[in-house]
Amino acid sequence: MVLHVKGRVLAGPEDVRDELWAVDGRITYERPPGEAVTVSGWVLPGLVDAHCHVGLDQHGPVPDEVSEKQALTDRDAGTLLVRDAGSPSDTRWIDAREDLPKIIRAGRHIARTRRYIRNYAHEIEPGDLVAYVGREARRGDGWVKLVGDWIDRDAGDLAACWPRGEVEAAIAEAHRLGARVTAHCFAEDSLRDLVEAGIDCIEHATGLTEDTIPLFAERGVAIVPTLVNIATFPHMADGGAAKFPNWAAHMRRLYERRYDTVRSAYDAGVPVFVGTDAGGSLAHGLVAAEVAELVKAGIPALDALSATAWGARAWLGRPALEEGAPADLVVYAEDPRADVRVLAAPSRIVLNGRIVG
């Protein structure tokens, strides 16, 4: 099938075209011969959710049929590229499905023993960190996911999980194997060690301060704030306040300054990307809500769009709407640059050149 997409094709932040075609699943800007199916509207490259968990729910790994529903929910919201930021499930079968989003996997989370959500991670001690990072680097698609901090029950608060020396060696091993490393981090304490050890990205990053933000900017370390997840911090704090009052108060402080933290990081030049943290306790299909949260934090609409479109795809090494790229795109009735809330209502979804929604 030849597909003709016309209207306003947002091929880049400053690159607006009138039309494109999809031939044999690939984008072309040269009119092909013959008949074509036409769709019209405002066009973006397939959206990116850079922190998503297909194959995972609040209890751990899920059956394939549940993973399929998760992937379809993301697809129908316009997410056509997922960076799966840690999953215990084998979702490689999704790669053979042309109707499901493309996935870049980080393997399984790597956490300290009894320092993360049950059934999610490899739970190990620091002496095994390098070996497990090497294992997940080989299993993933160019990413490894660490749990950088979690509640320490003895301390009664968030605390860093890994000694500096072990994390330096582990990140070096991942880089040797061609993988980038990211880490779950809520609090302040682990951030400097991770960045100075060479980490590539931090998830959540609620613990950023005026001391560490310049370091992130200098090193080019990206953040994926997952603000739709940070919105759950007060509920989490309420649930643990009786047993861990210091942790609960800390979580509330991180929540209260969340928008200031993200805006300060953006203003300093820290790369910011869209991620929802779907698949744990959060529903899938929240990419539009996360973009809206970035705008609420003070990021300009065009940059918030880039964080789930052109910029996010470039960061992950995947094409957007270039000549010859896979025809993965989303069509809207109105201009999402004028109001990012438009992202919540795609009128057409095209994956591999086929209309799937």
The pLDDT value recorded for residue 281 is 87
Residues 19, 105: one domain? no
- Kindly report the CATH number assigned to the domain that includes residue 332: 2.30.40.10
My answer on whether 56 and 31 are in the same domain is no
Backbone angles phi, psi at 220, to 5 degrees: 70, 30
Whether residue 153 is found in the same domain as residue 112: yes
Structural domains in the chain (count): 2
C-alpha distance across the termini of the chain, in Å: 16
**Does residue 187 share a domain with residue 174?**
yes
Cα–Cα dist 120/88, whole Å = 6
Which residues have a Cβ under 8 Å from the Cβ of 127 and sit 6 or more positions away? Answer: 166
Going by their DSSP bridges, the two strands 149-152 and 157-160 should be labelled as: antiparallel
Domain with 13, as residue range(s), is 2-44+320-355
HSE-up (13 A, CA, CB side) for residue 279? 34
92 and 32 assigned to the same domain:
no
Output Rg (C-alpha) for the chain, integer angstroms: 20
Q: Which two tokens stand for residue 187?
A: 């609090």
Q: What CATH number is associated with residue 138?
A: 3.20.20.140
Does residue 55 share a domain with residue 40?
no
Based on the fold, state whether residues 293 and 179 are members of the same structural domain: yes
42 vs 93: CA distance, rounded Å: 32
Residue % of the chain over a pLDDT of 70: 100
Residue 99: Cβ-neighbour burial (10 angstroms; 0-12, 13-18, 19+): middle
Measured CA to CA in angstroms, residue 33 lies from 1, 30, 38, 57, 147 at distances of 12, 10, 14, 47, 53
328 and 304 part of one domain: no
Q: What whole-number distance in Å separates Cα of residue 350 and Cα of residue 331?
A: 8
Residues 127 and 264 reside in one and the same domain: yes
Task: Judge contact between 293 and 244, C-beta under 8 A.
Answer: no
Band of residue 16 on the pLDDT scale cut at 50, 70, 90 = very high
One domain, residues 257 and 332? no
Query: Does residue 13 sit in the same domain as residue 150?
Result: no
> For the whole model, what pTM was predicted?
0.97
Write out pLDDT tens, residues 272-326. 999 999 998 899 999 999 999 999 999 999 999 999 999 999 999 999 999 999 9
- Nearest Cα neighbor of 292 from 208, 228, 233 is 228
